[in-house]
Amino acid sequence: MTDIRTLGEFIVEKQSDFPHASGELSSLLGSIKLAAKIVNREINKAGLADITGSVGAENIQGEEQQKLDLYANDKFKAALEARDQVCGIASEEEDLAVSFKRQLNRDAKYVVLMDPLDGSSNIDVNVSVGTIFSIYRRISPVGSPAIDADFLQPGHRQVAAGYVIYGSSTMLVYTTGNGVHGFTYDPSLGVFCLSHENMQIPVDGNIYSINEGNYIRFPLGVKKYIKYCQEYVPQDNRPYTSRYIGSLVADFHRNLLKGGIYLYPSTANYPNGKLRLLYECNPMALLIEQAGGRATDGQQRILDLVPTELHQRVPFFVGSTNMVNKVEAFLHEIDE
């Protein structure tokens, strides 16, 4: 029988990758693991308990908040504050960054940015959703309150990032800059077990993920890329297959395993794109690069972008290297 390694055991095993962390990063990931289990339990009650639907309010991005958005936000924030490794958090569901008040928290080295429940509008129709998280070392003095500059760091400074996908099975996927590893939740044991070690995205794929309902609003280079994907050219193994779930985590996870590209370009309604740099694009970019793929805004590497505001939006192209290279070539061709 193959030995089962739990997430906790694996994190401890890999602690030597971060001798400067003294176990703190491991404990922080343990907080995320705990909150994910609580949120997973509530998601599995959808349809049985009064936890679905809108709360009748909008977040700072003008998006309608779902009950589970706020529930997940509260649970992850509480789990991170309860331990002493995090001095503050920034969330898609919070207008401003939150600096924890306890001195033990202010003595912590890390900040966490998160999208507590990506794709939450899909809960009502039983479609996979997820949690995305990003971890940085603070740049403000230890012992003081967290400040905005702690959160406004370029993505290449992330010390860890990952996501939890709540689907037919629940998985936690993360990287600390030393490969991408996936853990599947075993509800009978209440633990995440290593199921996908050192995940690698194929250099090419045949899946493209984009909301083609917005086609008329896309930049010309993206329109040309979509047509390229749809053309029948036997030697290139095309046409490609269009697969779009509407939850970034779900689309990303499928493409990571099978090979493909996810596209959320600028549109007439969202000239700067719609996805958030800090809560969605940066963590997914770190994961995809660690898995051998690429992430770009169409012009430059996502992880090199310097954020200027907490809820900054950017266009996002992420996935198999050859596919990202191709869409970039179309975009550059139009610009020239």
186-210 per-position pLDDT tens digit: 999 999 999 999 999 999 999 999 9
pTM check: above 0.95:
no
**What Å distances lie between residue 140 and 16, 27, 176, 304, 308, CA to CA?**
26, 21, 22, 21, 17
In this prediction, residue 19 carries a pLDDT of 61
- The answer to whether 244 is a known ligand-binding residue is yes
- CATH code for the domain of 86: 3.30.540.10
Q: Are residues 191 and 274 in the same domain?
A: no
Q: What is the mean pLDDT of residues 90-112?
A: 95
Number of domains making up the chain: 2
Is 328 annotated to bind ligand? no
Q: What is the pLDDT of residue 57?
A: 56
Phi then psi for residue 180, to 5 deg, are -115, 130
Q: Would you say 211 is a known binding-site residue?
A: yes
Q: Mean pLDDT, to the nearest integer, of 218-241?
A: 86
Same domain assignment for residues 27 and 167: yes
Which CATH number belongs to the domain containing residue 260 in this structure? 3.40.190.80
Question: Residue 48: what pLDDT?
Answer: 46
Is 118 annotated in a binding site? The answer is yes
- Report the length, in residues, of the chain: 336
Q: Do both 273 and 181 map to the same domain?
A: no
Mark whether 160 and 125 lie in a shared domain: yes
The two structure tokens encoding residue 7: 């997430």
Could you read off the pLDDT of 136-174 as tens digits, one per residue?
999 999 999 999 999 999 999 999 999 999 988 999 999
DSSP letter for each residue of 100-153: --SHHHHT--EEEEEEEEETGGGGGGT--EEEEEEEEE--SPTTS---HHHH--
Q: Does the structure show a pLDDT above 80 at 235?
A: no
Domain membership flag for residue 330: yes
**225 is an annotated ligand-binding site residue:** no
Regarding whether 180 and 264 lie in a shared domain, the answer is no
Can you give the pLDDT at residue 83?
86
pLDDT at 319: 98
115 is in an annotated binding site: yes
44 alpha-carbon distance from chain centroid: 21
CA distance 14 to 43: 30
Residue 202 placed within a domain: no
Where is the domain boundary, 172, 196, 220?
196
- Tell me the average pLDDT across 234-252: 87
Q: Is 179 annotated as a binding residue?
A: no
Q: How confident is the model at residue 177 (pLDDT cuts 50, 70, 90)?
A: very high
The rounded distance, in Å, linking the Cα atoms of 285 and 265 is 15
Taking a C-beta distance cutoff of 8 angstroms, is the pair 329, 317 a contact? no
**pLDDT score, position 325:** 97
Question: What's the confidence (pLDDT) of residue 1?
Answer: 41
Residue ending a domain, choose from 154, 173, 196:
196
Three-state DSSP at 287 gives helix
Instruction: Tell me if 120 is assigned to some domain.
Output: yes
172/24 same-domain check: yes
- The better pLDDT of the pair 333, 298 is held by 298
Residue 16 annotated as binding?
Answer: no
Residue 18's pLDDT band, with cuts at 50, 70 and 90, is low
pLDDT tens track for 273-312: 999 999 999 999 999 999 999 999 999 999 999 999 999 9
- Looking at residues 314-323, what average pLDDT do you find? 98
pLDDT (mean) for 63-89 = 89
Would you place residue 21 in the very low, low, confident or very high pLDDT band (cuts 50, 70, 90)? low
Distance of CA 228 to the CA centre of its chain: 28
Provide the edge-to-edge strand list for the sheet that holds 98-99.
Answer: 98-99, 86-91, 110-118, 129-137, 160-166, 170-175, 180-186, 191-196
Residues 175 and 312 in one domain: no
pLDDT bin (cut points 50, 70, 90) of residue 11 is confident
The verdict on whether residue 33 carries a ligand-binding annotation is: no
Burial of 100 (0-12, 13-18, 19+ CB in 10 A): buried
- Average pLDDT value over all residues in the chain: 90
Are residues 179 and 154 part of one domain? yes
Q: For residue 237, give its domain range.
A: 207-335
* pLDDT attached to residue 3: 75
| Residue 68 marked in a binding site | no
Residue 286 and residue 156 in one domain: no
- Is 263 flagged in the annotation as binding? yes
State the Cα–Cα distance between residues 132 and 147, nearest whole angstrom.
21
